[in-house]
Amino acid sequence: MPIENPKKTWWEPFNREEKIWLYISIVWCAIMFAMMPLGHFWNQNVSSETYKTTPAEYGKIVQNFITKYERKDTKGQVVTHNGQPGGIPLVDAPTKEQGDAFLLAKAWQFTPVLVLKKNKTYRIHMSSQDYQHGFSLQPQNINIQILPDYSFVITMSPNEVGKFFLVCNEYCFFAGEKMGHDSMVGQVIVEE
């Protein structure tokens, strides 16, 4: 017995339930589409600029930045995050009006430790020296992907004092090298 062709096209006519789900889907798509640009007005999305660079060029820029703005104690010694010589230096970052701040991600650390002032605005450049890394500012949940060959710039105005941790949230292991992704943590300090 041969199979008969359907008397109508399979998508016509919509029954009542199908029409309801179609309308719900269209409305939901419109809401989600509107949320993408509106998220910038509610500070949901971190706006960023991106510039092409090289790891060597960016490394020199960061080293010059550290030399210019590193914090020194009363004896003229560089202050580090752990108080030990040779540690990651604390840097008094310039505000947006004074210049830009620079942060370097490399296996497996962030350098330098940026010291910011509450309610001031900063432009912070970020790049990687080697692998893909992540910039996750905790507990604020600001997340940026950091890649070699690009300088990512974010503008931020901290509104609370404290020590905030930078966590690499992109797996940055390279075969044949020491594993260190799980211990890649940095700091940003906000003072009055």
> Using one digit for the tens of pLDDT, what is the confidence trace for 79-99?
887 777 778 899 999 999 999
DSSP calls for 130-174: SS-EEEEEETTTEEEEE-TTEEEEEEE---S-EEEEEE--S----
pLDDT of residue 11: 62
Which has the minimum average pLDDT: 12-21, 34-43, 148-157?
34-43
Which pLDDT score is estimated for 174?
Answer: 59
| Predicted pLDDT of residue 151 | 93
Q: What is the pLDDT of residue 176?
A: 53
Do the bridges between strand 162-167 and strand 133-138 make them parallel or antiparallel, or are there none, so unpaired? antiparallel
Is pLDDT of 56 > 60?
yes
Band of the pLDDT at 42, cuts 50, 70, 90?
Answer: low
Distances from the Cα of 65 to the Cαs of 59, 113, 133, 171, in angstroms? 10, 12, 21, 27
Q: Where do runs of H (alpha helix) occur along the chain?
A: 16-41, 55-69
Indicate whether 29 pLDDT > 90.
yes
Task: Tell me which of 35 and 25 has the higher pLDDT.
Answer: 25
145 band by pLDDT with thresholds 50, 70 and 90 = confident
The region of weakest confidence among 13-17, 151-155, 161-165 is 13-17
Q: CA 87 to CA 78: how far, in whole Å?
A: 9
Q: What's the mean per-residue pLDDT of the chain?
A: 84
